Amino acid sequence: MPRIELSEADERDLVVGVVNGWADHQLALGEALVGVEKIEVTDGTASHRWLLRFKGEEKEFITLWLTFHQRTLHFETQFMPAPEENVAEVLTYLMRRNAHLLQMAFAFGPENAIYLVGRVPAFLVDEEELDRIAGCSILYVDDHFPTAMSLAFPNQYRRRPRRA
């Protein structure tokens, strides 16, 4: 199918509409998404942002930040605070896990905290892509959080009991 070139403003409006509609629908379902905060931008001087709060298994909540930049949708979630112990082992574990992640990677963020980050071209943003981003974010946190936290905080971290 031929790709239609959109102006930057049209592309932004399309992404904003898709994300808003998807988030409202997911929230109405009442399943994994439990909260949405939209940071509306009306003057064109800043990026549109959404904070999506999901229920997690290993972390009580997983907050996914979506930010529309010029022609891309950036996504990130804080995975864990900066490791206090076994730093080399934690980073080695996470860097090895990067090879198995789909369009996301572990990276340093503010205060040396560990984040899962990625971006996708704006023209690819649709409900299916948002499902993938949210699903991978939740899956990757739930899969890797216990091991990383056990290494980084061996005297403090205890796994959450499984929900029935």
Q: What are the domain boundaries of the chain?
A: 8-152
Residue 92 scores a pLDDT above 60: yes
Look up residue 164 and give its DSSP letter.
-
Helices (H) and strands (E) in the chain, counts: 3, 6
- Band the pLDDT of 81: cuts 50, 70, 90: very high
Question: H-type helices in the chain, by residue range?
Answer: 8-29, 87-98, 127-152
Please state, as a whole number, how many other Cβ atoms lie within 10 Å of the Cβ of residue 57.
17
Fold of 8-152: Yope Regulator; Chain: A, (3.30.1460)
Higher pLDDT, 153 or 157: 153
- Please give the pLDDT value at position 7: 67
Q: Which of 4-18, 77-91, 100-114 has the lowest mean pLDDT?
A: 4-18
With bands split at pLDDT 50, 70 and 90, how would you rate the model's confidence at 1? Answer: very low
Written as one letter, the residue type at 122 is A
Q: Output the pLDDT for position 164.
A: 53
What distance in Å separates the CA atoms of residue 93 and residue 83, rounded to the nearest whole number? 12
Which has the closest alpha carbon to 12: 119, 104, 125? Answer: 125
Q: Which pLDDT score is estimated for 114? A: 97
Q: How far is 147 from 67, CA to CA, in rounded Å? A: 29
